[in-house]
Amino acid sequence: MKKSSVLVCGGAGYIGSHTTVELINAGYDVVIVDNLSNSDRKAIEGVCQITGINIPFIEVDCCDREAFRKVFEQYEFDSAIHFAASKAVGESVAKPMLYYRNNLTSLMNLIDLMCEFGRHNIVFSSSCTVYGEPDKQPVTEQTPRKEATSPYGNTKQISEDILRDAVAATEGLKGIALRYFNPIGAHPSALIGELPRGVPQNLVPYITQTAAGIRECLSVFGDDYPTPDGSCIRDYIDVVDLAKAHVKAIGRMIEVADAPRYEVFNIGTGRGVSVLELVTRFQEVNNLKLNYKIAPRRAGDIVAIWADPTKANDVLGWHAERNLDDTLAAAWAWQKNLETL
């Protein structure tokens, strides 16, 4: 039996495409909008192949309010998930206005149109970057947000505040912000995965491209941090597990009438893994040797962060299920399959 429909803004992207699969698996209808500025139609083709469903896709920029309005006029949906944002920390430092204009305008347009058309539920794609360099680990939802270290991180903080304030001012509107830690991996089918344009900004695509011979050498930025092996520590969450958290969030807003109208959840595994540990595990799991070197520290990198996911476990009923070895095997399978897609 079909549940309600969900608008997925940025649904051709890495997390958006995996979330679309999980929404369909859970019985929801989905409409995708994406401007394809940092994504690819291949992702939508992969989603259709996995699910066996021809999903409506509209190429539209969420910053173009009038074009975006036509989606609301054409399709019925009760809920929306907002992934449509620029996401490279380094680029945001070089091009701050691009990030503020795109990330904030797209969300404000979504909220305005949801209110105008009487749609009720918004899940926002936030980030653990809102915590900055935390004073203690693991971080909970009560850990203070610190001043952002990049325009990208600042847009996540500001966007959370915009959604919170809009919910408080608008009867019937609900919002959930999911603070992701470090999404990695690919769908087990190897039909969708992370598809960066140009040089990857994230660790695992750079690892897989180095293993595939596309990149000559992987740089590990710093081995002199105050951690057991000197490299930075992060909480790596499988993208399929992350996608399922969005399904839980939509379900909570629809089904739990007495839930708070605005909520925040950490989405991570609760375990910190160092960069060097991840590189070693990738080599062992996939039985290959990576060409990597230690490079100087990178500006803006924090030493360590990992989640306390207790609230998501208890309130959303969500748990990270896929282990790191399976995740790294899926990432490599996706990289190898790219040549055939």
Q: What is the pLDDT of residues 51-85, one digit of tens each?
A: 999 999 999 999 999 999 999 999 999 999 999 99
Contacts of 220 (CB under 8 A, 6+ apart): 231, 275, 276, 279, 292, 293, 294, 295
* CA 63 – CA 157 distance, rounded (Å): 19
Contacts of 285 (CB under 8 A, 6+ apart): 325, 328, 329, 332
Taking Cα atoms as reference points, which of 144, 262, 279, 153 lies closest to residue 208?
A: 279
CA-CA distance, 24 to 11, in Å (whole number)? 13
% residues pLDDT > 70 (the chain): 99
Is residue 340 over pLDDT 90? no
pLDDT at 190: 97
1 pLDDT above the threshold of 70: no
Q: Which helix (H) or strand (E) holds 179?
A: strand 174-180
pLDDT per position as a tens digit, 137-156: 999 999 999 998 889 999 99
CA proximity to 125, closest of 4, 45, 43, 239: 239
Please say if 152 is a catalytic residue. yes
Q: Could you tell me if 148 and 154 are in contact, meaning their C-beta atoms sit under 8 angstroms apart?
A: yes
CA distances from 276 to 43, 71, 272, 292 (A): 30, 45, 12, 10
CB atoms within 10 A of CB 14: 25
What would the pLDDT profile of 234-267 be if each residue is shown by its tens digit? 999 999 999 999 999 999 999 999 999 999 999 9
Q: What is the per-residue pLDDT for 149? A: 83
The confidence score (pLDDT) of residue 88 equals: 86
Q: Is the dihedral angle over the CA atoms 177, 181, 182, 186 positive or is it negative?
A: negative
Q: Active-site residue among 14, 28, 152, 206?
A: 152
Q: Return the minimum-mean-pLDDT range out of 96-105, 112-121, 196-205.
A: 196-205
Tell whether the model's pLDDT for residue 90 goes beyond 90.
Answer: no
Contact 50, 189 (CB under 8 A): yes
Distances (CA, A) of 56 to 27, 32, 61, 218, 236: 15, 6, 16, 38, 31
> So what's the pLDDT on residue 197?
84
Alpha carbon of 105 to those of 101, 132, 259: distances in Å? 6, 23, 28
Residue 8, beta-bridge partner list: 32, 81
Distance CA 309, CA 139 (A): 9
Cα–Cα nearest to 290, from 215, 238, 231: 215
CB 130 within 8 A of CB 145: yes
CB 302 within 8 A of CB 130: no
- Is residue 204 pLDDT above 80, yes or no? yes
State how far the Cα of 330 lies from the Cα of 189, in Å rounded to an integer: 8
pLDDT at 89: 84
Q: SS3 for 295?
A: strand
User: Which residues partner with 9 through β-bridges?
Assistant: 33, 82
Share of the chain above pLDDT 90, in %: 91
- Say if residues 270 and 234 touch (Cβ distance below 8 Å): no
* Residue 340 or 166, more confident: 166
Supply the pLDDT for residue 3.
65
Answer yes or no: is pLDDT of 161 > 90.
Answer: yes
Confidence of residue 339 (pLDDT cuts 50, 70, 90): confident
